[in-house]
């Protein structure tokens, strides 16, 4: 009897692992990004006001690619979008969506936790949404990221406020988010200047740096 219980538990855990596999998460990321409270249209409008259609945008921590695809279609249709992620399965998922929609101006980069792997002097704008809290040694990371920006390039950071961060993890529950003061401090120490702050997102902070 005990043997069958163990087998049942193993099968249950295997089923859960399949449910929460990377393609499933990528799809969930995209569903969340387009929800009304995420205000994607407002975010796109702000970015469109900052750069022209021939420029280069980096979606750093692209996840399921919701914003990658919108950037490629609506913001810089005559430019280039870099989808950057540390998970190859996410990049493959984005590539499949781009092929279905006949989008051809996306480049894909498999990064590491320490290095974006972007070419130097590449980006007119680097978009970092719900990723900041995942970055270890964030001051060093963003100091190094400056070399990837063109002169006058911008960095947009959107991250969950700690009190509104979603709970993640199957067995161990973790809430992820970043105090706005920490983002401001890290970016100042890394050599950036805050140029805009937006407060229309109910659960996230929104900063634009140069």
The predicted pLDDT at position 163 comes to: 85
pTM of the entire predicted model: 0.85
Burial of 181 by CB count in 10 Å (0-12 exposed, 13-18 middle, 19+ buried)? exposed
The CATH architecture annotation of domain 2-209 reads 3-Layer(aba) Sandwich (3.40)
34-58 pLDDT tens trace: 899 899 999 999 999 999 999 999 9
CA distances for 125 relative to 14, 21, 39, 67, angstroms: 40, 30, 19, 13
102-157 pLDDT tens trace: 999 999 999 999 999 999 999 999 999 999 999 999 999 999 999 999 999 999 99
Which residues are 125's β-sheet partners? 57, 154
More confident residue, 9 or 168: 168
Angle between helices 138-145 and 180-189 (to 10 degrees): 50
By the 8 A CB rule, do 82 and 94 touch?
Answer: no
Token pair for 159 = 């991250």
Among 126, 120, 128, 125, CA closest to 144: 120
The predicted pLDDT at position 4 comes to: 47
The predicted pLDDT at position 91 comes to: 98
Angle between helices 88-100 and 22-33 (to 10 degrees): 60
Burial of 4 by CB count in 10 Å (0-12 exposed, 13-18 middle, 19+ buried)? exposed
Answer yes or no: is pLDDT of 85 > 60: yes
The predicted pLDDT at position 165 comes to: 65
- DSSP letters along 22-88, please? HHHHHHHHHHHHTSGGG-HHHHHHHHHTTS-TTSEEEEET-TT-HHHHHIIIII-TTSEEEEEES-H
Answer yes or no: is pLDDT of 14 > 60: no
For the chain, how big is the Rg over CA atoms in Å?
Answer: 18
């Amino acid at each position: 009897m005990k043997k069958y219980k163990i087998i049942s538990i193993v099968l249950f855990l295997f089923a859960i692992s399949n449910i929460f596999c990377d393609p499933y998460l990528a799809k969930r990321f995209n569903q969340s990004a387009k929800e009304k409270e995420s205000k994607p249209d407002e975010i796109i409008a702000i970015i469109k006001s900052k750069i022209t259609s021939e420029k280069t945008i980096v979606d750093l921590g692209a996840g399921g690619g919701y914003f990658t695809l919108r950037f490629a279609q609506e913001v810089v249709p005559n430019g280039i979008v870099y989808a950057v992620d540390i998970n190859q399965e996410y990049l493959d998922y984005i590539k499949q969506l781009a092929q279905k929609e006949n989008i051809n101006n996306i480049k894909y980069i498999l990064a590491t936790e320490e290095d974006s792997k972007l070419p130097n002097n590449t980006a007119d704008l680097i978009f970092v949404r719900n990723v900041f809290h995942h970055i270890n040694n964030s001051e060093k990371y963003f100091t190094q990221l400056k070399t990837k920006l063109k002169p006058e390039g911008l960095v947009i950071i959107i991250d969950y406020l700690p009190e509104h961060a979603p709970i993640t993890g199957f067995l161990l529950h973790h809430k992820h988010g970043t105090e706005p003061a920490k983002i401001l401090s890290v970016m100042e120490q890394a050599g950036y200047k805050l140029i805009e702050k937006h407060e229309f997102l109910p659960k996230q902070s929104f900063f634009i740096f140069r």
